Amino acid sequence: MATTLTGSGVSPGTGYAPAHLLTGSIPEPPKGAVHDGDAAAEKARVQAALEEVAADLEARGERAGGEAAEVLSAQAMMARDPGLADGVGELVDAGVSGDRAVYEAFGAYRDLLAAAGGYLGERVADLDDIRDRAVARLTGAPMPGVPVDAAEPYVLVARDLAPADTALLDRNLVAAFVTEDGGPTSHTAILARAMGVPAVVGCAGATALVQGTLLLVDGATGEVVIEPEPAAAQAAVAAARARAEALSGTTGPGATADGHPVPLLANVGGPKDLEAALANGAEGVGLYRTEFLFLDRADAPTEEEQQAAYRAVFDAFPGGRVVVRTLDAGADKPLAFLPPPGEEPNPALGERGLRMFRRYPDMMAAQLGALARAAEGTEAIPYVMAPMVATVAEAAWFADACHAAGLETAGIMIEVPSAALRAHDLAKVVDFFSVGTNDLTQYAMAADRQVAGVSDLQDPWHPAVLDLIALAAGAAGAAGKGCGVCGEAGADPVLACVLVGLGVTSLSMGSPALPWVRASLARHTLDQCRAAADAARSAPGASEAKEAARACLTGLGDLGL
Amino acid sequence: MPQRRLIVEAEVGLHARPAATFVQTATRSPAEVTLAKGDGAPVNAKSILSVLALDVKKGDAITISTDGDGAEELLDELASIAGAP
């Protein structure tokens, strides 16, 4: 009987492949570490380690072929560098331990390359990789890093994944993600949905798995089966593929089984995400995260640059709506050119979102101006909304600025509980709402999205969160205005039905989730959705709410959900 | 000591592929081979890291030096690598 680990399934699909454990970075060998006195033996040991690293890089290059072969063979040359060997030799002769000597000898070149910047600066990562591999060999630590050149697909297992870990991942090689930490709004979850890779997060015991163990990962149920019966595992993967085909059978605009329309929109971070949005049948954009255009830059983008980036997205959806969120800087997404006024003990509760615009009104004027010009002559229907609105005064200030700039449809995100509670007043001063369920959950449950220990509280299924969404959707409906959801909750095909039942009028999500949500809505009537919403809100907790809703949603089985 | 002075013509300078080919060629010689940029101090031409760290760009003047048997032939070969557009 195979053992099973269980976590939260956050990105549906089934993956079956060997585990690749992503270890943390290799720790720096302690300063002042010395060897046992035999310098010649220590130098030979280092030389052998560097040669093994070089040979391994070359072998991987030969397997990969093409450009990768060239890059890896250049890396192998670095590992065999005679200047580096001299540097290590001098340090070891002076008594420094081999691993520390490698670290310091690389450091000298690292500084030179980093100072040069440009192409050479980019080689620093290559150098660090060689150094870490050599140090790992000398200390017996497991090899670091994501296997970018693996020959076979693997299940990536980690404590949690940082953006830097995942930049180089190849969708075709990643069968699934399993992380020990993280909740439904963790980076891993968002990335997995964006890539369309099955994922299980918050999976206790994951990091204790043995490298190479075969895993069957179910990204819907959250089950990770260790060394499953191969025939059963292959059958599960085949069934998942069949479900995927069932999914692609539901096409067209989003609607419930009885024809109640629910526009299905895509969350995008820039023009690069449009292809996936269109491929998955998005009817427009429900969340254009403009800050993603501007992360990692020292200076503010010009209005022309902004205008071009906005226009590209407008042009992709003639006749469709494109909801642009103004810069959401601060907290976990600091922008260098919009510095917070000082150290904030809790950035999530600090000057972020619209609050930043109150400090930098010129930045808001520039962004709204660029948006208004980008919108001129476009066939898309531009919507503009502000993040982190807490009061009616803030909402009115923003909506007035949008209207004055010539942007007709101005809305706000509902992500602060005060905004949901006073939605009936806010609905009088803005043109639409969009619920950001990630932050709304974080603030309603007082559970920081970046703290793994409270990940069970960061679940939008908590009835308190559903109540707040119901308040916002109800107030918008009473005022004849729309209330969308653009948080991760909208990407959950079960919760999507509940949201529609709560009165939400459109759903926006990472593009790969669109077919799932479309298929799920198409299998349920509006009445079923309302019954599921009532059942969920009557439950005492998140897991009971999910169970109660599922019981009302009889078409989920078709989709293997 | 036999030397060659020349201007680097490759678009990428003495980085990437030209640097790798240059270092591989220098490494074949048993003799000491050095490379200097402008009037700077010479570095070991068999060390890819030292060669890269010189940050030789298109249009920079370099000096290649070596000694011993076949020095002239090696210098010709290295100069043609470094001088290739």
CATH number of the domain to which A373 belongs: 3.20.20.60
Under a CB-based contact definition with an 8 Å cutoff, are residues A19 and A211 in contact? yes
Same domain for A522 and A453, yes or no, is yes
For the domain B3-83, what is the CATH code?
3.30.1340.10
Same domain for A218 and A279, yes or no, is no
Task: Establish if A29 belongs to a structural domain.
Answer: no
Tell whether the model's pLDDT for residue A187 goes beyond 70.
Answer: no
Number of independent structural domains in chain A? 3
Predicted local confidence at residue A301, as pLDDT: 84
Nearest-angstrom CA–CA distance, A256 and A555: 12
* Residues of A in Cβ contact (< 8 Å) with B24: 77
The verdict on A82 touching B (C-beta cutoff 8 Å) is yes
**Sequence-separated (6 or more) residues with CB below 8 Å from residue A94:** none
Query: How far, in whole angstroms, is CA A465 from its chain's centroid?
Result: 21
CATH of the domain at A60: 1.10.274.10
Task: Establish if A71 belongs to a structural domain.
Answer: yes
Strand order through the sheet with A223-226: A4-6, A223-226, A214-218, A14-21, A154-158, A174-179, A199-201, A8-11
CATH of the domain at A168: 3.50.30.10
Which carries the bigger pLDDT value, residue A117 or residue A523?
Answer: A523
- Specify the range with the lowest mean pLDDT, choosing from A119-123, A253-257, A380-384: A119-123
How far CA A465 is from CA of A249, A446, A457, A504, A537, in Å, comes to: 33, 11, 10, 14, 9
Predicted local confidence at residue A65, as pLDDT: 65
Same domain for A11 and A86, yes or no, is no
Q: Helices A526-538 and A463-478: crossing angle, nearest 10°? A: 130
Nearest-angstrom CA–CA distance, A297 and A164: 16
How many CB atoms are closer than 10 A to CB A114? 14
Predicted local confidence at residue A165, as pLDDT: 57
Tell whether the model's pLDDT for residue A71 goes beyond 90.
Answer: no
Question: Nearest residue of B to residue A105 by CA position?
Answer: B49
Nearest-angstrom CA–CA distance, A385 and A439: 15
**Sequence-separated (6 or more) residues with CB below 8 Å from residue A299:** A336, A337
Tell whether the model's pLDDT for residue A538 goes beyond 80.
Answer: yes
Task: Establish if A149 belongs to a structural domain.
Answer: no
Q: Helices A230-248 and A514-522: crossing angle, nearest 10°? A: 70
Mean pLDDT of A512-537: 95
**Percent of all residues in chain A with a pLDDT value above 90, rounded to a whole number:** 57
The verdict on A81 touching B (C-beta cutoff 8 Å) is yes
Could you give the 3-state DSSP secondary structure of residue A272?
helix
Q: Following DSSP, what letter does each residue of A231-263 receive, concatenated? A: HHHHHHHHHHHHHHHHHHT--SS-B-TT--B--
Same domain for A426 and A341, yes or no, is yes
On the CB side of A195, CA atoms within 13 Å amount to 24
Detail the DSSP E strand segments found in A245-371. 264-268, 285-289, 321-325
Tell whether the model's pLDDT for residue A127 goes beyond 70.
Answer: yes
Nearest CA-CA distance, residue A166 and chain B, Å: 25
Predicted local confidence at residue A149, as pLDDT: 64
Give the residue from A239, A195, A224, A199 showing the smallest Cα distance to A557: A239
Q: Could you read off the pLDDT of A416-470 as tens digits, one per residue? A: 999 999 999 999 999 999 999 999 999 999 998 878 889 899 999 999 999 999 9
- Whether residues A113 and B53 touch (CB distance < 8 A) is answered with yes
Nearest-angstrom CA–CA distance, A21 and A418: 42
How many CB atoms are closer than 10 A to CB A142? 11
The verdict on B47 touching A (C-beta cutoff 8 Å) is yes
Could you give the 3-state DSSP secondary structure of residue A21?
strand
User: Residue A164: which pLDDT band, with cuts at 50, 70 and 90?
Assistant: very low
Mean pLDDT of A102-120: 86
Task: Establish if A289 belongs to a structural domain.
Answer: yes
Q: Could you read off the pLDDT of A456-483 as tens digits, one per residue? A: 999 999 999 999 999 999 999 999 999 9
Q: Could you read off the pLDDT of A41-67 as tens digits, one per residue? A: 999 999 999 999 899 888 877 776 666
* Residues of B in Cβ contact (< 8 Å) with A116: 53, 55
Nearest CA-CA distance, residue B63 and chain A, Å: 19
Q: Could you read off the pLDDT of A369-383 as tens digits, one per residue? A: 999 999 998 999 999
Same domain for A326 and A356, yes or no, is yes
Q: Which of A20, A35, A187, A462 is catalytic?
A: A187
Same domain for A359 and A223, yes or no, is no
The verdict on B15 touching A (C-beta cutoff 8 Å) is yes
Same domain for A410 and A500, yes or no, is yes
Q: Are strands A432-435 and A506-509 parallel, antiparallel or unpaired?
A: unpaired
Predicted local confidence at residue A243, as pLDDT: 75
Same domain for A399 and A335, yes or no, is yes
Listed residues A197, A216, A238: the one ending a domain: A238
Predicted local confidence at residue A140, as pLDDT: 78
Under a CB-based contact definition with an 8 Å cutoff, are residues A137 and A1 in contact? no
Q: Following DSSP, what letter does each residue of A421-460 receive, concatenated? A: HTHHHHHHH-SEEEE-HHHHHHHHTT--TT-GGGGGG--T
What residue type is B3 in one-letter code?
A: Q
Task: Establish if A148 belongs to a structural domain.
Answer: no
Same domain for A315 and A419, yes or no, is yes
Task: Establish if A28 belongs to a structural domain.
Answer: no
Could you give the 3-state DSSP secondary structure of residue A339?
coil
Predicted local confidence at residue A24, as pLDDT: 62
Same domain for A371 and A499, yes or no, is yes
How many CB atoms are closer than 10 A to CB A48? 13
**Sequence-separated (6 or more) residues with CB below 8 Å from residue A66:** none
Same domain for A227 and A256, yes or no, is no
Rounded (10°) CA dihedral A324, A327, A328, A334: 150
The verdict on B12 touching A (C-beta cutoff 8 Å) is yes
Same domain for A334 and A443, yes or no, is yes
Q: Are strands A4-6 and A174-179 parallel, antiparallel or unpaired?
A: unpaired
Domain locations along chain B: 3-83
Under a CB-based contact definition with an 8 Å cutoff, are residues A520 and A528 in contact? no
Please give the residue range of the domain that contains residue A447: 249-559
Predicted local confidence at residue A345, as pLDDT: 83
Which carries the bigger pLDDT value, residue A191 or residue A240?
Answer: A240
